[in-house]
Structure 1
Amino acid sequence: MPQSKSRKIAILGYRSVGKSSLTIQFVEGQFVDSYDPTIENTFTKLITVNGQEYHLQLVDTAGQDEYSIFPQTYSIDINGYILVYSVTSIKSFEVIKVIHGKLLDMVGKNKESGLSSLFRVISYEEGKALAESWNAAFLESSAKENQTAVDVFRRIILEAEKIDGAASQGKSSCSVM
């Protein structure tokens, strides 16, 4: 097997949308049902995608809002961003649009970029359309139901690898998902 590659991924979104739950589900394989506001946590995990081993460093960030100022550390050595919103919160959906705009301002505009008892207010199609408007990958996930949590992180690796290939040809960019 080739030598493992390191990738750093930042998980961003409004407060209490499941950023930590998604990350912990991926890293530890369990759903944490309690809410404990995150300041910032870093998780690591080894994962193999298409025969290549990756050492992931996942930066689980504090919840952002439309007034948050992004620390410079969110743009240094980050290979990809996962933007998380709750399908039960229009506010969280609106906030990721603001976050996306701030990311573009920060990293450069030329870069590529559990529904059980809750009532869905953002359709799959709305989420997909927003991602398409950003030319970003889209996956809907539920950390609670363990739906596609691993797929989200596999996909960001694949997107970062596509961009890494472009970077080796003289282009520089990161991935937003």
Structure 2
Amino acid sequence: MAEDSNSQSMVQRPRWKPDSGSTMCEVCNAEFSFFNRRHHCRSCGGLFCNKCCSDKRELPKSMGYGTDPQRVCRSCCKHVDRGSAPKQHPPEKREPVLKQRKICVLGKSWVGKSAICVQFVEDRFSPYYNPTINHTYQRKIKYSGQNYLLSILDTAGQDECSMFQPQYSIGTHGYIILYSINDYHSFEMVKSIYDRIQDCNIRDGVVLVLVGNKNDLPAERQVSFEEGQQLAASWGFPFMECSAKKAENIEAVFNLVLEEILRAEGDS
């Protein structure tokens, strides 16, 4: 016990993880938003949601918080209750900060939103269609020497009655607007989706890429490559065609979105 007390008394206040260093809770992976705020654990400096960092404990005086109980995460709470010092890794052994960026995939039902997400994240294609109700995929990638965690929101199919929802813009860094080259109506709908993004996104510098999927079906093509290219050019955004089924240009699509995000942020 004497050793535990001594180690606890020598604990120094941690360096807090920057707010920009994470977009989700380190315990439950819940995404931070206007309604789900991020909180720092005063003991380890990590970022957590309110549910995973709601307990308060009196911390060692050496940390400089005084005698008032401080907000701590569940793990640190257990250490404090046991009377032992929370584990703190030396800075040189910490993992590099993993920058996180959120991409929202929009488009009409049946255009292949889930298919391009699954192909990118899980490297597979399923020929079966299951309607999606807003699912988030994640994948770590390395781009220009920096590690990124891409959080990809696969939205429910947009139609005239359920167009782009304002909540899709929360925490979103870039958009993929997807249509199918063998469905002209899906191409017409991307114009309405684009208008809704402009209406709902209050910040400047909206990042998006227009993508035509299913270019493995040339005999069924209803939208020419030039039509997609011209529409994207009129918006001032990049355009690309891909095939989720054949895994053609899938990596390129997501890399392009990230590249555009970083350019808008001044990092590219």
Global fold match (TM > 0.5): yes
Select between 30-39 and 64-73 the one with higher mean Cα deviation: 64-73
Contact 1:19 1:60 (C-alpha < 8 Å) held by counterparts:
yes
Q: Say which one has the larger Rg.
A: 2
1:60 aligns with 2:161: no
Contact 1:26 1:149 (C-alpha < 8 Å) held by counterparts:
yes
Select between 89-98 and 66-75 the one with higher mean Cα deviation: 66-75
1:164 aligns with 2:265: yes
Contact 1:11 1:81 (C-alpha < 8 Å) held by counterparts:
yes
Q: Please, what TM-score do these two structures have when normalized by structure 1?
A: 0.87
- What is the rounded CA distance, in whole Å, between the counterparts of 2:164 and 2:226 in structure 1? 29
Letter in 2 for 1:141: C
Select between 33-42 and 113-122 the one with higher mean Cα deviation: 113-122
| Structure-1 residue corresponding to 2:248 | 147
When the two structures are aligned, how many residues end up with a matched partner? 166
| Structure-1 residue corresponding to 2:33 | none
Letter in 1 for 2:176: I
Helix, strand or coil: the match of 1:85?
A: strand
- What is the rounded CA distance, in whole Å, between the counterparts of 1:117 and 1:129 in structure 2? 19
Once the 2 structures are TM-superposed, how far is the Cα of residue 109 of structure 1 from its aligned partner? 8.1
Once the 2 structures are TM-superposed, how far is the Cα of residue 65 of structure 1 from its aligned partner? 1.4
Once the 2 structures are TM-superposed, how far is the Cα of residue 165 of structure 1 from its aligned partner? 1.5
Identity %, equivalent residues: 40
| Structure-1 residue corresponding to 2:174 | 80
Q: Which runs of 5+ in 1 are unaligned?
A: 167-177
Letter in 1 for 2:105: I
Contact 2:169 2:201 (C-alpha < 8 Å) held by counterparts:
yes
Contact 1:66 1:99 (C-alpha < 8 Å) held by counterparts:
no
Task: Sort the Cα spacing of 1:60 and 1:118 in 2 relative to 1 into closer, same or farther, 3 A.
Answer: farther
Once the 2 structures are TM-superposed, how far is the Cα of residue 67 of structure 1 from its aligned partner? 3.0
Once the 2 structures are TM-superposed, how far is the Cα of residue 49 of structure 1 from its aligned partner? 1.2
| Structure-1 residue corresponding to 2:48 | none
Which one scores higher on RCO, CA 8 angstroms, separation ≥ 6? 1
Once the 2 structures are TM-superposed, how far is the Cα of residue 70 of structure 1 from its aligned partner? 3.2
- What is the rounded CA distance, in whole Å, between the counterparts of 1:117 and 1:157 in structure 2? 28
